[in-house]
Each structure stands twice: as structure tokens, then as C-alpha cells.
Amino acid sequence: MKRAKVGVVGAAVLLSAAFPSSAANCATANQGACDRNAAGSGKECALADVAAGRGGDEIELKKRLPEIFAKCAAHYHALDAAAKPLSKDADGKDNVPHGFIRDKGVLDMRDVYWWASGHLAGAFWYLYEATGDAFFRERATAWTEVLAPNAKVTDNHDVGFIMYCSYGNARRLLKTSRYDALLLEAAKSLSTRFSDRLGLIRSWGAVNDAESFLVIPDNMMNLELLEWASKAEGGNRRFDEIARSHADVTMRHHFRQDGGTYHVLNYCQKDGRVQEIRRGQGASCCTAWSRGQSWAIYGYTMMYRETKERRYLDFARKLADFAINNPNMPEDGIPFWDYGAPGEERDSSAGAVMAAGLVELSEFVGGDAGRAYRAFAAKQLLSLSSPAYFSEGGEIGHFLLKHGVGFKPAGSEIDTPLVYGDYYFLEALLRFAK
């Protein structure tokens, strides 16, 4: 859970308040113990075995795609109708729907600085891409253009999520450059959080905080904005240098030997060492928070796409293999909210992000391994489009996916729809369709 609005209590403060004890923050000396505990935990199976017998899933998913997109479109027609009257608060400020408050039966509206505010607009852009319906283009434009103030945000890393999922898709689908200046400004804002000394983008906290330098794997997703900006007219190769540096340093420190991720690392700004591990949104410091793992799979695959550096592809495969072969991965391919919390809540958003990453990864890897990644993603997407995860009518406010988990250790957003889960579900379906 992350907050983007200046002057509002941020996620780093929330983490500190939620986890004041050593249960949340592990001494750096425990990093090796986590590696030893995790080592060898994966199933001993070849990737080719994952694809065995899964060809039927791909055939079934291809057959069902028109029906699935039609259902998604119907849901978002209804969601838009419900959200429009709530899109201004009492002070006239813009709000966007983030989720659904089940016990009150109302949409969970957040201000435009909320970290996931761009995913709603992006979902409408994806539905326009899937259907060609002008309604989705018009509503995507409306939900996008209220986000413009985020281009100036410098107090967190989520400007990449907010601006590229919305304006990035707008410029791609409309084939326009009218949003380029905003996107370049957003890239510059994100770059202000980069430390030349550490080679990292600070995820949370003030840029002048001398005590903490917090980094999370979610940050890999924001690098796509920088890679675009490095290639855009009027852009600068410095953005690419920042993105590669962050990806490389994160690769060295943020993952255990088996490929499982930590959530929050706190770096010492004097010598660059990891001075603290925090469990953050995960179950513990020695387990892998499932959505964080999915962010990383997706992020390193994206970095390979943008740079063609082989190390990013190889690392994306290691991260994907950790998840696919994990002994706690359920049969339907939708992870528990943490890989160290079997039997607890699933996180549909983690499954959706992972599926989107795996479809793209499969294209780059090719061969039997590539087919195995694609087959696993097809299984995940069939699961997510089944009644077990896909909502009926307005049961969750017309969002698509049930059973998301936002921030369980803080008691927030447990077994609920999450707009970013919908966004990456639609993206994964579109990638699969191509």
C-alpha cells in the first residue's frame, strides 16, 4: 500500500506504525539465514513438465477470449456509471475508484494522487483496445486527463505507475504525441529520487532523509516510464542509465539465492550496504510476498524488452521459476498472498501481474521453456476468468477480479477487488490474444 499525495501520511510511515517490533524489521545478519531457509525449497521439476498437458488450456482460453472481453466490457460500463457521480468530492477535487467497500456496499474512491489511480484509466484503454468501442476511448481519456498533476510528484516512486499506465497507453493507442511533454516531466520527477551514490531510486520517504533509503521490488515497474523517456523525442539517455542502474543494484541485493524477493530493503547511504530488511507487505522477512515477486518477474522482463541485455532475461526466468516451481503454488496458478503463507488468502492481483509478465517472457525465451511459461499463464488466466475469481454483476462494485490482497499485515484490503488486478488481467489477456 502506497500513498502519493504530498502532505499525506505515506506508506513508509504506515509501515513503521504497523510494524514497530522486530517481527517486521529483521537485522541484516538474518539475510544469510533467510537464504539458507529458502534454499532448495522449490519443486524438483523441469519447466517442460509445467507445459505437459496444458495445451488444452491455451485452446480453451483462445476460444473464450471474445466472451471474457465482452463480460469485462459490461462490468466496466457499469463501473463507470457508478463512479461518475462520485468522481468529485465535496470540495470539487477529482477522485477515481480503487476498489469496493463490501460491508458498506460502496465504491472505494481515492484522490488522483493515490498510487493506483492510473490503473483505472489504463483498464479503460485496454478495453478500448480489445473492443474498439468509442465509449471506452472517451471514458479512458476522461479518467486519464484528471491525473495530469501527478507529473510533478516527487515524493514517491509511483509516478511511473500513475502516468505510464494511463498516459502511456493513451499515446500508444491514439498514436499521438500530445501527452509526451507530461510523460517527460513525470520521468524527470521520478529521476529526482535517484541516488548516484547508491545507484537506486528511493521508493518511499523524503529525498533528504539521511536515516533511511527504502527500496521495494514494486519500483521495477516504474522503470518503463524512464525507458520510454530515454528514447522519446526530447528525452535523454540519462533516463536509461538510471533505469539500468536501479535494475542492476536491485538484482544484486533484493533477492535470495533461490530467486525469492524481500519486500523492503533499507540502504545505508554512507556505504551502500543493506542495513535493514523489512517484511513490508509480506508475511515475514524470510518469505516472498507474492505480488512483489510478480512485480519483479514483470519488471525484469520489461527491462530485457527495452534494453536487450541478456542478464535481465536470465534473471526474469529465475524469478519466474521460483514462483512456478514453488511448493506452495496452488494447482490453479493463483498464488497465496505470500509464498510462505499456504492455506491463507489468495491474491488474484499477484496472479494477474504474473500472467502478464509470463506471456511476454514466453515470447523472448522461446522453445520448450517459452511454451511452458505461456502455458502457465494460460492456466492462470483461465482460473481468473472462472467463477472462482471473476465477479458476477455488482457483487464487488462491477470490478472484475475477486480475492485480491493489498496489505494483509496492516489489516488493509484483504479478500477484495483491486483495480490494478483488473488492469494486469486485461493486459495479460491482450498479450495472450496477440
Q: Name the nearest CA neighbour of 284 among 267, 268, 261.
A: 261
Active-site residue flag, 218: yes
> Parallel, antiparallel, or unpaired for β 264-267 and 200-201?
unpaired
Residues in a beta bridge with 359: none
Could you identify the residue written with the cell 462490468?
75
Cα separation, 296 vs 317, in Å, equals: 10
Cα separation, 397 vs 257, in Å, equals: 41
Residues contacting 218, CB < 8 A, separation 6+: 2, 157, 203, 292, 295
**Model confidence at 294: pLDDT above 70:** yes
Query: Average pLDDT in the 391-408 region?
Result: 97
Helix or strand (DSSP H, E) at 160 = helix 159-163
Q: Which domains can be identified in the chain, with CATH numbers? A: 11-433 (1.50.10.10)
Q: How many H-runs (helices) and E-runs (strands) does the chain carry? A: 16, 10
126-180 pLDDT, tens digit per residue, is 999 999 999 999 999 999 999 999 999 999 999 999 999 999 999 999 999 999 9
Phi-psi region of 172 (alpha: psi -120 to 50; beta: other; left: phi over 0): alpha
Please pick, among 80, 158, 258, 347, the residue that the annotation labels catalytic. Answer: 158
Active-site residue flag, 94: no
The three-point CA angle 93-2-427 to 5° equals 90
Share of the chain above pLDDT 90, in %: 86
Please pick, among 108, 218, 321, 338, the residue that the annotation labels catalytic. Answer: 218
64-94 pLDDT, tens digit per residue, is 999 999 999 999 999 999 999 999 999 999 9
pTM of the model: 0.92
With beta carbons less than 8 A apart as the criterion, state whether 294 and 350 touch.
yes
Q: Which three cell numbers stand for residue 152?
A: 510533478
